[in-house]
Structure 1
Amino acid sequence: SRITPEEALELFDIDLLTLGKMAHQVRKRIHPEDRVTFCIDRNINYTNICISRCAFCAFWRDKGHPEAYLLPKEELFKKIEETLELGGTSILIQGGLNPELDITYFEDLLSAIKARYPIHIHGLSPPEIWHIARNSGLTLEETIKRLMAAGLGSIPGGGAEILSPRVRQQLSPNKVSTEEWLEVMETAHRVGLRTTATMMFGHIEEPRDIVEHLGRIRDLQDKTGGFTAFISWTFQPPNTELAHLEKATAADYLKVLAISRIFLDNVPNIQASWVTQGAKIAQIALYFGANDFGSTMIEENVVAAAGATFRMSKEEIIRCIKDAGFQPAQRDTLYRVLREF
């Protein structure tokens, strides 16, 4: 029978290894094979100019700041060519909420990429899509349909942080609300786009906020079935306005990961976050509910701006998965297996 939010809250008090065992059983039920998937892609941030100014973010800059940028198309194309040379199948394209960019900028950008390269575009998180719609005087559905027509292939779950109004009011009051984030995702699912769901924890939230977040993801997935995966990671305090906060531990990460796998019975894939946890904890995560090792992240700037600098090549990911006792397989953005190793 399905675990309730009240029962999920009780899991926070369970011994970590017992919790891991429970999550691994759920993982084996959903993925009976011993396969762990990963993908080869690149995270391209087209701008760091952002009006949100979130307290947890070290990446944003105001317009006019000496470090503010809007990536020239030629540079973006060069990054895509490097990605394809490394066997990449997709790009993750995200950026700040730049007040000068409306739908025409993104239509031009996406269609220019698709005209030149055989690559999947996983891009534009819910805050960006909400921002584009508002900047362009369009509905969410009109915006998403136009982005799809221009070449958008799927949407990342960024900007969720914690889907609890209480927490968002303190962390990111200038960004989309819980309801608005969910509305973007529901609209995307309705018009046929698959998306991921994410959660960033280890800052000012409490266990009840995490359970509320998971509940909102599960409820929407019941309704639409459009989430391909759930990815959680820990807040990285350095260089942010919340630098005084203590960093979440590996045990905190594994606990929340395991609870996520147990609770989100309708989301097929759970990703391990080697980007914030490093290779060793990511390997342990494969026994705490995760069945996916994420991406090679040929380039990553947002988490790196906050001081996390883990890097892994395709070969290192394959070795990590094998050393942990699993069969590595490369997948695409929509979790279709391309090859096994």
Structure 2
Amino acid sequence: MQRLDIEQAEKLWQEENLFTLGRMAHQTRLKLHPENMVTYIVDRNINYTNVCVSACKFCAFFKPPGHEDGYVLSFAELGRKISETLELGGGQILLQGGMNPDLDLVYYQKMLEFIKDRFPQLAVHGFSPPEICFLAGEAGLAIAEVISRLKKSGLDSIPGGGAEILVDRVRTELSPRKCMTGKWLEVMREAHKQGLKTSATMMFGHVESLAERISHLDKIRSLQDETRGFTAFIPWTFQPGNTLLEVQEASSAEYLKFLALSRLFLDNVPNIQASWVTQGARVGQAALLWGANDFGSTMIEENVVAAAGVCFKMPEPEMRELIQRAGFIPRRRRMDYTLLAESG
């Protein structure tokens, strides 16, 4: 299939219906992944702090500095959460917080060293590009140096959080204190250069246009052409509950249609992840026939989306059953999409 350009992607969206785009995306997914498997990971989202100066309009989770409900997890509590994750069969944590002015780069290095010293088998998928940009600014260091220090202390990979829409007009409206598009891409480019794999994300369904959504996809595809460092793309819909944005939530049909378009456009990103956390189990299951080949995480813990009033939980046996009922073989994976041996 010839690579889609921006104009062709817009035309597909406007002229094709949900089911036609879904069929096209599923055919593409089967060409890329003919083995009839759907992968997933057992991990836990640990938010080490909820204190953040960004004050993004779409976030229901953060607290400003000095707020009585602000927190920073102690290393002892962090260790307890990790131990529980390992007991439940997890091999990775997603470590994310906020842009907390009271935590410097040395704190982050010590946190990673604490984790790796006590849990050397654990993979740490942590710190989104805005967090890394903020750390670099606070420390007066180049982004490359911050990533190098974090990697040396034990960081294994970087999540694609904080992308929202990679268009400065949207970012200025939603989160003006957060890094702009160029810096987000710079962090990912540098991470890939230093050998760290990352994911890429998009939060859509708020103040962006269709053209801006596709511009986001184009930026991800262009950087992937350059570095080949993205393992997966994860789009999800904005959850408006308890936030400062008064917009109507995007429908499940719109989610599935855009998921399909993402699979068709991102021809160099190997994996597309279903977002059952925002969509629920049944729509997440349907996503496996609309271009997704990965079911994401079992989410032993998740706080950010839950703060917006959306709280879907899924134990591993239920996740495996949903994958099987969609006609696929469930397989556990690592962040880099290498498969784990099946137990039993």
Q: Give the alignment's TM-score, normalised by structure 1.
A: 0.99
Q: In the alignment, is the contact (CA less than 8 A) between 1:327 and 1:340 conserved in 2?
A: no
Query: Could you tell me how far 1:340 is from its partner in structure 2?
Result: 4.4
Can you list the C-alpha shifts for 1:6-46, whole angstroms capped at 9, x where unaligned?
A: 10111212111000000001101110111000000000000
Can you list the C-alpha shifts for 1:147-203, whole angstroms capped at 9, x where unaligned?
A: 000000000000000001111111111101011100000010011110000000011
Please give the alpha-carbon distance, in whole angstroms, between the structure 1 residues aligned to 2:249 and 2:192. Answer: 34
Paired residue for 1:16, among 15, 18, 38? 18
Please give the alpha-carbon distance, in whole angstroms, between the structure 2 residues aligned to 1:149 and 1:61. Answer: 30
Partner of 1:150: 153
Partner of 2:233: 230
Paired residue for 1:319, among 318, 321, 326? 321
Partner of 2:163: 160
Partner of 1:77: 79
Please give the alpha-carbon distance, in whole angstroms, between the structure 1 residues aligned to 2:92 and 2:12. Answer: 36
Please give the alpha-carbon distance, in whole angstroms, between the structure 2 residues aligned to 1:3 and 1:339. Answer: 37
Partner of 1:5: 6
Partner of 1:128: 131
Partner of 1:196: 199
Query: Could you tell me how far 1:245 is from its partner in structure 2?
Result: 0.9
Query: Could you tell me how far 1:215 is from its partner in structure 2?
Result: 0.2
Please give the alpha-carbon distance, in whole angstroms, between the structure 1 residues aligned to 2:92 and 2:320. Answer: 18
Paired residue for 1:302, among 301, 304, 324? 304
Please give the alpha-carbon distance, in whole angstroms, between the structure 1 residues aligned to 2:262 and 2:292. Answer: 10
Query: Could you tell me how far 1:239 is from its partner in structure 2?
Result: 0.3
Please give the alpha-carbon distance, in whole angstroms, between the structure 1 residues aligned to 2:160 and 2:199. Answer: 5
What's the Cα RMSD here?
0.8
- What SS does the corresponding residue of 1:280 show, helix, strand or coil? helix
Q: In the alignment, is the contact (CA less than 8 A) between 1:58 and 1:302 conserved in 2?
A: yes
- What SS does the corresponding residue of 1:333 show, helix, strand or coil? coil
Letter in 2 for 1:270: I
- What SS does the corresponding residue of 2:202 show, helix, strand or coil? strand
Matched, 1:218 2:199: no
Query: Could you tell me how far 1:306 is from its partner in structure 2?
Result: 0.4
Q: In the alignment, is the contact (CA less than 8 A) between 1:92 and 1:121 conserved in 2?
A: yes
Letter in 2 for 1:10: K
Letter in 2 for 1:142: E
Letter in 2 for 1:152: L
Q: Which aligned pairs between 1:159-178 and structure 2 lie closer than 5 A?
A: 159-178=162-181
Please give the alpha-carbon distance, in whole angstroms, between the structure 2 residues aligned to 1:166 and 1:132. Answer: 24
Unaligned runs of 5+ in 1: none
Percentage identity across paired residues of the two chains: 58
Note closer, same or farther for the CA distance 1:340–1:32 as it changes in structure 2 (3 Å cut): farther
Partner of 2:334: 332
Matched, 1:96 2:84: no
Can you list the C-alpha shifts for 1:54-104, whole angstroms capped at 9, x where unaligned?
A: 000001101121110011110010000000000001000000100111110
Letter in 2 for 1:303: V
Partner of 1:65: 67
- What SS does the corresponding residue of 1:197 show, helix, strand or coil? strand
Unaligned runs of 5+ in 2: none
Please give the alpha-carbon distance, in whole angstroms, between the structure 2 residues aligned to 1:235 and 1:29. Answer: 30
Query: Could you tell me how far 1:339 is from its partner in structure 2?
Result: 3.0
Q: Which range moved further: 8-17 or 290-299?
A: 8-17
Please give the alpha-carbon distance, in whole angstroms, between the structure 2 residues aligned to 1:205 and 1:252. Answer: 14
Matched, 1:274 2:276: yes
Letter in 2 for 1:290: A
Letter in 1 for 2:137: R
Please give the alpha-carbon distance, in whole angstroms, between the structure 2 residues aligned to 1:135 and 1:85. Answer: 37
Query: Could you tell me how far 1:47 is from its partner in structure 2?
Result: 0.5
Can you list the C-alpha shifts for 1:237-285, whole angstroms capped at 9, x where unaligned?
A: 010001x211110001001100000000000000000000001001110
Partner of 1:187: 190
Q: Give the alignment's TM-score, normalised by structure 2.
A: 0.98
Query: Could you tell me how far 1:334 is from its partner in structure 2?
Result: 1.0
Letter in 1 for 2:232: A
Letter in 2 for 1:160: A
Q: Which range moved further: 133-142 or 250-259?
A: 133-142
Query: Could you tell me how far 1:331 is from its partner in structure 2?
Result: 0.3
Paired residue for 1:241, among 239, 244, 248? 244
Please give the alpha-carbon distance, in whole angstroms, between the structure 1 residues aligned to 2:179 and 2:254. Answer: 27
Q: How many residues align?
A: 340
